């Protein structure tokens, strides 16, 4: 490997190319960008234009990739299209001369450009867009391959770097420079991990016009999303709630009982029907569902709560019906975020536990909603007792009804609470069994995460007397081990408020 290439091996190369005819398009400004880049860790430069190249070469001996851009009527090739360009770049001090090596109509063959570069004692860099072009350039003797042209030879411009092309080109055995749409440090680091000899970053460092536009567009999109309410839904084993949400304010709601005998397509139809009167009144759309969602696909965690077929494409099904993307989260995770942003969490580290038809949970730590590798973080209802039975089987609203029936009382969970309030011993005993399980769960969660606050919600968790019973069970703990328990402030709307806010942040 040449000394020139070795000097920026596994390093950053900064492309100092101002926006043409912009306020920074002057050799003095380009020199300033180049020297600032080198002083901050850049090891090489990519410079366009003879005047800029001469000025930078006079200011530094750092490796320079030189090129000339031209707009031609007879060819789409723009980067160093002519042999005279090669001569001019060599005379101006370029160490490496870059040229378009794509398979398109061109004024000069790639082979001739490569030979001209070598005849001047310089290294030839072939800017390619496909692996076939990379193979051809290597066969013609190109010293370096650049992924520069990927995504710029026709069709819509992609938003992400072409890492598959980089990976394939590295296998050819020539140094490969990753270039094109690398805008954040993590992408540059990934390129090096994939075997890039160097990484060229341009607009993200030396084009304030582009950087400013990225920020302005993102802020504009956020502003547009916040102007209208968001549509949000909460699909659970008992009810389906659809709402228009403006910040922490639920503008309107519509709900119906979830028919457990239907399938996900029917539930999606029901959501669309409930939301139909609000068409055109909302921007972002978000959803909270029982079970687990990962990459837009929905699966049951406990089919007893709601029987969902594995990997149902919920995001696609709802987009087809609503006409816009839908951001999805587990219902307890969405409720946890709602309580963190607008409810009892008040911006503090929290764990949220909902005791309802089933039992679920969510965690917000350090300002981040924890979803986990597969979307199941916080699924406390499936944590097992020493008997191997999930906790929600031993403590949820379904458990209360089942336990009452086993004692000869065919009633639902609210009726169990009513009977306990009347002093009926059997009902108090059933509630105490649930309380014991949930109290142990909260105690263990406090030991694992030590959150500032533990929030309890859900139809059972918010029922009269439930939290007081929980606190009584935990009263014996020393202060540093005792959870600070708060009732969910947003009630049954925590899920839709959280889902709406998460959707706005993603839109």
Tokens of 248: 């922490």
Within 10 angstroms of residue 506's Cβ, the number of other Cβ atoms is 11
**Cα(60)–Cα(38) distance, integer angstroms:** 9
Q: Which residues, in sequence order, are bridge partners of residue 241?
A: 234, 255
CATH numeric code, 228-332+497-506: 3.30.420.40
pLDDT of residue 196: 97
- Extents of the domains making up the chain: 3-213, 228-332+497-506, 344-488
Tell the CATH topology of 344-488. Answer: Nucleotidyltransferase; domain 5 (3.30.420)
What's the DSSP call for residue 120? Answer: T
pLDDT of residue 226: 65
DSSP-derived secondary structure for 332-384: HHHHHHHHHHHSTTTTS-EEEEEESSSEEEEEEETTEE---SSS-TT-GGGPB
Per CATH, 228-332+497-506 and 344-488 having the same topology is answered yes
CATH numeric code, 3-213: 3.20.20.70
Q: Which residues, in sequence order, are bridge partners of residue 97?
A: 66, 124
The sign one gets for the Cα dihedral 191, 192, 193, 195 is positive
Do the Cβ atoms of 457 and 491 come closer than 8 Å? yes
Q: How would you write the pLDDT of the chain (507 residues) with one tens digit per residue?
A: 689 999 999 999 999 999 999 999 999 999 999 999 999 999 999 999 999 999 999 999 999 999 999 999 999 999 999 999 999 999 999 999 999 999 999 999 999 999 999 999 999 999 999 999 999 999 999 999 999 999 999 888 899 999 999 999 999 999 999 999 999 999 999 999 999 999 999 999 999 999 999 899 888 777 766 678 999 999 987 889 999 999 899 999 999 999 988 999 999 999 999 999 999 899 899 999 988 888 899 988 767 667 888 899 999 999 999 999 999 999 899 999 999 999 999 889 999 998 988 888 999 999 999 988 877 777 787 788 767 788 888 888 889 999 999 999 999 999 999 999 999 999 999 999 999 999 999 999 999 999 999 999 988 999 998 999 999 999 999 999 999 999 999 988 999 999 999 998 887
**Cα(475)–Cα(351) distance, integer angstroms:** 19
> Residues with Cβ < 8 Å from 24, sequence gap 6 or more?
18, 30, 33, 208
**Cα(348)–Cα(361) distance, integer angstroms:** 16
pLDDT of residue 49: 97
Within 10 angstroms of residue 385's Cβ, the number of other Cβ atoms is 14
Task: Please give the biggest Cα pair distance in the chain.
Answer: 99
**Cα(5)–Cα(236) distance, integer angstroms:** 60
């Amino acid at each position: 490997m040449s000394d020139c290439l070795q000097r920026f091996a596994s390093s950053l190369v900064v492309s100092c190319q101002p926006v043409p005819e912009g306020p920074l398009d002057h050799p003095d400004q380009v020199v300033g960008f180049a020297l600032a880049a080198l002083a901050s860790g850049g090891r090489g430069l990519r410079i366009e234009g003879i005047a800029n190249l001469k000025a930078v070469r006079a200011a530094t001996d750092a490796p320079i990739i030189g090129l000339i851009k031209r707009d031609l009527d007879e060819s789409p090739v723009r980067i160093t299209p002519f042999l005279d360009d090669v001569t001019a770049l060599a005379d101006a001090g370029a160490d490496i001369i870059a040229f378009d090596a794509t398979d398109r109509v061109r004024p000069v063959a790639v082979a001739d450009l490569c030979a001209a570069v070598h005849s001047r004692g310089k290294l030839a860099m072939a800017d390619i867009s496909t692996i076939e072009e990379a193979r051809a350039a290597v066969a013609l003797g190109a010293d370096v391959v650049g992924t520069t042209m990927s995504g710029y030879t026709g069709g819509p411009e992609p938003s992400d770097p072409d890492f598959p092309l980089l990976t394939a080109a590295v296998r050819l055995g020539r140094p490969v420079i990753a270039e094109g749409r690398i805008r954040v440090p993590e992408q540059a680091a990934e390129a090096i991990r994939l075997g890039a000899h160097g990484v060229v970053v341009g607009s993200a460092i030396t084009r304030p016009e582009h950087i400013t536009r990225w920020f302005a567009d993102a802020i504009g999109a956020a502003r547009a999303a916040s102007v209208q309410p968001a549509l949000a839904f909460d699909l659970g084993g008992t009810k389906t709630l659809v709402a228009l949400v403006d910040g922490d304010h639920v503008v309107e709601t519509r709900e119906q009982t979830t028919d457990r005998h239907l399938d996900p397509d029917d539930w999606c139809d029901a959501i669309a029907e409930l939301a139909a009167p609000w068409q055109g009144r909302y921007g972002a759309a978000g959803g909270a569902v029982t079970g687990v969602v990962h990459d837009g696909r929905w699966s049951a965690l406990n089919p007893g709560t709601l029987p969902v077929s594995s990997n149902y494409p919920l995001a696609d099904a709802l987009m087809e019906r609503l006409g816009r993307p839908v951001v999805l989260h587990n219902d307890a995770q969405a409720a946890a975020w709602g309580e963190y942003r607008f409810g009892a969490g008040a911006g503090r580290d929290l764990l949220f536990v909902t005791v309802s038809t089933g039992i679920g949970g969510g965690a917000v730590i350090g300002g981040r909603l924890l979803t986990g590798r597969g979307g199941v973080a916080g699924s406390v209802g499936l944590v097992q007792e020493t008997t191997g039975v999930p906790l929600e089987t031993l403590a949820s609203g379904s458990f209360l009804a089942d336990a009452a029936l086993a004692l000869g009382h065919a009633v639902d969970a609210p009726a169990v609470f009513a009977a306990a309030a009347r002093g009926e011993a059997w009902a108090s005993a059933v509630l105490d069994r649930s309380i014991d399980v949930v109290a142990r769960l909260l105690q263990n969660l406090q030991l694992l995460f030590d959150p500032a606050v533990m929030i309890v919600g859900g139809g059972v968790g918010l029922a009269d007397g439930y939290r007081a019973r929980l606190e009584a069970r935990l009263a014996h703990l020393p202060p540093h081990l005792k959870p600070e328990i708060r009732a969910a402030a947003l009630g049954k709307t925590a899920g839709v408020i959280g889902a709406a806010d998460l959707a706005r942040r993603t839109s």
